[in-house]
Amino acid sequence: EPAIQMAARELAENQVNSMIGRQLAHYKIVSLLGAGGMGEVYRATDTQLERDVAIKVLPVEFSQDEERLARFEREAKLLAAFNHPNIATIHGLEESDGIRFLVLELVEGQTLAERLIKGPLPIEKALEICHQITEGLEAAHAKGVIHRDLKPANVKITPQGKVKVLDFGLAKAFEGATAVTDLSQQPTLTDEMTRTGVILGTAAYMSPEQAQGQPADRRTDVWALGCLLYELLTGQPTFPGETITEIVAAVLKSDPSWERLPENTPGLIRFLLRRCLDKNSDDRFHDIADVRVAIGDALKELTTVSPSVVTTTTHPGRWRWAVPLVVLGALAASLLTWILMPSSSPVEQQVQRFVISPEATAPLHEDYPFSEVAVSSDGSKFVYVAETETGSQLYLRSLDDFEARPISGTESTANYPMFSPDGESIAFVSSGQLKRVSVQGGAPRVLFDLEGNWGGGSWLEDTIVFVSERDLFSIPANGGEAELLTTAPEAYPDEFHFSEPQILPGGKSVLLQAGRSSPQIAVYSLETGQLTNLLPGGISPRYASAGYVIYLFPGTGKLMAAPFDLQSLEITGEPVPVLEGVRFSRAPVGAGFGATYALSPGGTLVYVLDPGSYYRLLWVDRTGGETLAAPQKRGYRGLNISPDGKRVLMSLGPSSGFSTSTEIYDLEGDSFSRIPTEGITSAIWTRDGQWITYQALVDRKSNLYRQRADRSAAPEQLTHYTDTRYPVPTSWSPDGRILLYKRQEIDSIFIDDILSVDIQASEGPQDLIAGPGNQTAAQFSPDGNWIAYVSDETGENQVWVCRYPEIDRKWLVSDGEVSVQPKWSRDGSELFYRNGNKTMAVSIQTESGFRADRPQLLFEGSYRTDSRGLPRYDVSPDGRFLVVSAQDTEVQIHVVLNWFKELKRLVPVN
């Protein structure tokens, strides 16, 4: 092999030597300038115009391919048609003595590849170079020309400091009409370069879509520009490797080593690099103009402030208008040093919002019921519970940084974090113990051995107050004996617990949540021992130093604010919604609710939106083909198509908790109309489409109601229960007389039974299908003679069918795997149900008794399902399935700086 390689090099050298001094048309070859996968480049003299030019001699195999050559000629003519000071000009494509060659502008100076041999460039110089590159790219993109092979070797700096991009657009022209999927045939990836130890060119700057052989658009130039800027700042390749395989693997799977960037790299540039180098092209900057404006603004800032601090105390620049709002948020994060400084101006600081995506390898944990985030007192950093391969771990994110880092010593089971007042330590719970660790990480110190359920805590000065099971404790933050402050009252022994305590300023009282299934926001006086209820139905209270109690109402998912007097410990005004869609979760049975938000004394709000806000409504045909049913992404929960197939009755709300509204969606007019009655959930149509039926909680009594769909008359109450165990309507008989619904047993909060009510009779609801186990999701057949339902009497959910009204005999319809949500076809000849991601169909015959064929798979898809009876899908009269997509938006952390200004506007106080 070495002998073959040596022979190949000698042949190449002989070919080059034979060109020196040769005349091609009226161009005399003077010397070799360089060589690459698209041919050798020579310095030459144009004897007609008496000027120096560059001659690129194309490979012989390329010149012999007429189809590619014709395409190359068309592209070359297009490139020659425009002129820009940052793009090396193409003078023409010519042929002489059977040799095809390009005549190019000769650019004197050194390439960036040659300059990088000396090491990284100063930040300002690197930005100036890239700013000129983006100007050239922008001009070419405007004419539909994409470079596709941007790299240091293709950028030259003239002695006058002008940047020239070489070989612009030739990669596409060289490629030919058919996309190249063989990496070895990509431009500049020659066989010579596959040798171990050879520094590769194009492979290190390929976008992921290029590396996978997919079509490349202008976003591939954005990627390459990001690679180039990173290399100019660090002096190292963005994706290093010694072979094509290693480099391509890094491009597809690895992240750049961000810690290599100079410490004084502006925050805006750090964010810009991340958005240029996002492996998902949809999340990458789509337009190089946005990159140009950002670099320009960063350059302006560098000329007015120290390189280690970036501020916008003067003009925000065009950047604010040229890029997505999320970029503004990131810029706000990088400006935190300035924002948190006491203002010398009488003008109050403005509210700033931005979004932070947790690390892909450590997403926000979804299973913990209480505070998954905590923010430091000065608002400069926050910590969140991340889900890792080994369990849960705390990650710390400073707002003036662009990466979260794991806190060592919190591995495996860390959760429920709280900051020390100085922001230098974190208290957390792990393996049944309350622990403390430095934000820099290290061996944690055990403060307390917990008993039973942990209920959260807070840290004020040198004291931590926390809940263990039903007891409220305080403990010195440096360790020592814990003091029992109080025990939850025995009035409600099964459910009355304390949780999420917060020591109020002054240290004389504690704000907390009292109760779980029927929670209250309460305050406990450490001086008198008195517990006072402040607000009913709220969870996860936080005191806002602007004079409010903030809490979440789980029935709606809304964050509420109520004016609060710290001296009298009284609510002084009506609660007002201030934020919708904050995520909350319900803990394992009996442990209550918890909301994911945190608040600093200075007004920094950190929260997570419920992902249930981001579902899509889809039509799916019997083959699995999908089409969009509604353009909006919303928290679709229950679905029920009207008998004529033109409207959808739906419940909407967060993925956890209850529905927040019930609306009718007009499929033809693409419009939503909200049913104004409060407290509605689980609504369905009657068979004639004239009425809607729903469950509503009125005066803490949960009952079924029906109302005209046009709201022309007042609702009619169908049941008269006196407790809160809510019934869920599931199906009407064809004659509109019998309503089926499921409801929890009176003596149990865990067991569901199927009941019926005859609206024309006086005897009230009747038990229809009861234990053992849960019975739910009952559906009348179109003729009203059969009922399909779900029962877990065998140990797991299965679909059954029984005759109506004689229900003493039943048939198992599903095939033994967990099955839910039965739905009849409109003619009753089929029964559908969900089995995980599978939608199954069963042919049904009822002419002479009941017979069900073996279930058949219709299609698979990741759609929302429900094991407790809520209709997450429905079947239209034309046989299509209306489904709710699985949540497809990443969970992100939202940060609002100076939130108190907005809070005071929304909830004025005297």
657-676: pLDDT as tens digits: 455 578 899 998 878 887 76
DSSP symbols for 189-230 = --GGGGSTTPPPSGGGG--HHHHTT----HHHHHHHHHHHHH
Give the pLDDT band (50/70/90) at residue 553: confident
- In this structure, of 163-167, 530-534, 631-635, the range with the lowest mean pLDDT score is 631-635
CB 288 within 8 Å of CB 218: yes
Give the pLDDT band (50/70/90) at residue 204: confident
- In this structure, of 205-214, 357-366, 420-429, 524-533, the range with the lowest mean pLDDT score is 357-366
- In this structure, of 124-138, 236-250, 354-368, the range with the lowest mean pLDDT score is 354-368
pLDDT at position 427 over 90: yes
CB 839 within 8 Å of CB 828: no
C-alpha distance from residue 611 to each of 134, 330, 890 (Å): 37, 21, 8
Query: In percent, how much of the chain has pLDDT > 70?
Result: 78
- In this structure, of 67-71, 385-389, 551-555, 636-640, the range with the lowest mean pLDDT score is 67-71
Contacts of residue 533, defined as CB under 8 A and 6 or more positions apart, other chains included, come to 514, 520, 521, 522
- Per-residue pLDDT averaged across 395-411, rounded? 86
**Phi, psi angle pair for 832, to nearest 5°:** -110, 155
Angle 639-643-645 (CA atoms, 0-180°, nearest 5)?
A: 70
pLDDT at position 163 over 60: yes
HEC letters along 41-109: EEEEEECCCCEEEEEEECCHHHHCCHHHHHHHHHHHHHHHCCCCCCECCEEEEEEECCEEEEEEECCCC
pLDDT at 90: 84
Residue with tokens 């865990």: 750
Query: In percent, how much of the chain has pLDDT > 90?
Result: 35
**Tens-digit pLDDT profile for residues 823-862:** 999 999 999 999 888 999 999 999 888 999 999 999 998 8
- Per-residue pLDDT averaged across 229-252, rounded? 88
pTM of the model: 0.46
As a whole number of angstroms, the distance between CA 2 and CA 629 comes to 63
DSSP symbols for 456-471 = EEEEETTEEEEEETTE
As a whole number of angstroms, the distance between CA 663 and CA 584 comes to 23
- Decide: helix, strand or coil at residue 614: helix
pLDDT at 230: 95
As a whole number of angstroms, the distance between CA 57 and CA 22 comes to 12
CB 569 within 8 Å of CB 532: yes
What totals of helices (H) and strands (E) does the chain contain, helices first? 15, 61
Pairing state of beta strands 483-487 and 471-476? antiparallel
**Tens-digit pLDDT profile for residues 432-453:** 889 999 999 999 999 998 876 6
Pairing state of beta strands 838-845 and 830-835? antiparallel
- In this structure, of 56-70, 192-206, 374-388, 540-554, the range with the lowest mean pLDDT score is 192-206
pLDDT at position 14 over 60: no
Give the pLDDT band (50/70/90) at residue 620: very high
Give the pLDDT band (50/70/90) at residue 369: very low
pLDDT at 322: 34
**Tens-digit pLDDT profile for residues 478-498:** 888 999 998 877 654 445 578
Give the pLDDT band (50/70/90) at residue 686: very high
Give the pLDDT band (50/70/90) at residue 67: low
As a whole number of angstroms, the distance between CA 247 and CA 206 comes to 9
Contacts of residue 165, defined as CB under 8 A and 6 or more positions apart, other chains included, come to 86, 87, 88, 133, 136, 137, 147, 150, 154, 155
pLDDT at position 195 over 50: no
Give the pLDDT band (50/70/90) at residue 725: confident
For residues 715 and 344, which has the higher predicted lDDT (pLDDT)? Answer: 715
Element (H, E) at 246: helix 244-253
pLDDT at position 213 over 90: no
C-alpha distance from residue 818 to each of 104, 203, 518, 525, 788 (Å): 69, 48, 32, 51, 15
pLDDT at position 724 over 60: yes
- Per-residue pLDDT averaged across 284-295, rounded? 88
CB 394 within 8 Å of CB 406: yes
Residue with tokens 């208290």: 427
As a whole number of angstroms, the distance between CA 380 and CA 86 comes to 41
Q: Helices 267-276 and 325-334 meet at what angle, rounded to 10?
A: 140
As a whole number of angstroms, the distance between CA 808 and CA 599 comes to 58
pLDDT at position 899 over 80: yes
- Per-residue pLDDT averaged across 144-164, rounded? 86
- Per-residue pLDDT averaged across 623-651, rounded? 87
Q: Helices 218-234 and 123-142 meet at what angle, rounded to 10?
A: 170
Starting at the edge strand found earlier in the chain, the sheet holding 163-165 runs: 110-111, 155-157, 163-165
Q: Looking at mean pLDDT, say which of 110-114, 492-496, 677-681, 784-788 comes out highest.
A: 784-788
**Tens-digit pLDDT profile for residues 689-720:** 999 999 887 776 889 999 998 888 888 999 99
- Per-residue pLDDT averaged across 414-433, rounded? 90
As a whole number of angstroms, the distance between CA 312 and CA 304 comes to 10
Give the pLDDT band (50/70/90) at residue 746: low
Q: Looking at mean pLDDT, say which of 347-356, 455-464, 776-785 comes out highest.
A: 776-785
Contacts of residue 547, defined as CB under 8 A and 6 or more positions apart, other chains included, come to 563, 564, 565, 566, 909
Q: Catalytic site residues?
A: 149
- Per-residue pLDDT averaged across 798-820, rounded? 90
Using the Cα atoms of residue 208, residue 388, residue 265 and residue 401 in order, give the sign of their dihedral: positive
pLDDT at 589: 33
As a whole number of angstroms, the distance between CA 372 and CA 363 comes to 12
Q: Looking at mean pLDDT, say which of 143-152, 389-398, 727-736 comes out highest.
A: 727-736
pLDDT at position 613 over 80: no
For residues 220 and 170, which has the higher predicted lDDT (pLDDT)? Answer: 220
Give the pLDDT band (50/70/90) at residue 550: very high
- In this structure, of 134-138, 308-312, 664-668, the range with the lowest mean pLDDT score is 308-312
Contacts of residue 480, defined as CB under 8 A and 6 or more positions apart, other chains included, come to none
Give the pLDDT band (50/70/90) at residue 511: very high
CB 500 within 8 Å of CB 538: no
pLDDT at position 84 over 70: yes
Give the pLDDT band (50/70/90) at residue 883: very high
- Per-residue pLDDT averaged across 352-358, rounded? 78
Q: Per the structure block, which two tokens stand in for 878? A: 């034309």
pLDDT at position 38 over 70: no
- Decide: helix, strand or coil at residue 442: coil
pLDDT at 338: 38
Q: What is the overall mean pLDDT for the chain? A: 80
- Per-residue pLDDT averaged across 864-889, rounded? 77
Give the pLDDT band (50/70/90) at residue 298: confident
For residues 138 and 75, which has the higher predicted lDDT (pLDDT)? Answer: 138
pLDDT at 637: 78
pLDDT at 323: 37
CB 907 within 8 Å of CB 855: no
Nearest to 823 by CA among 847, 798, 841, 807: 841
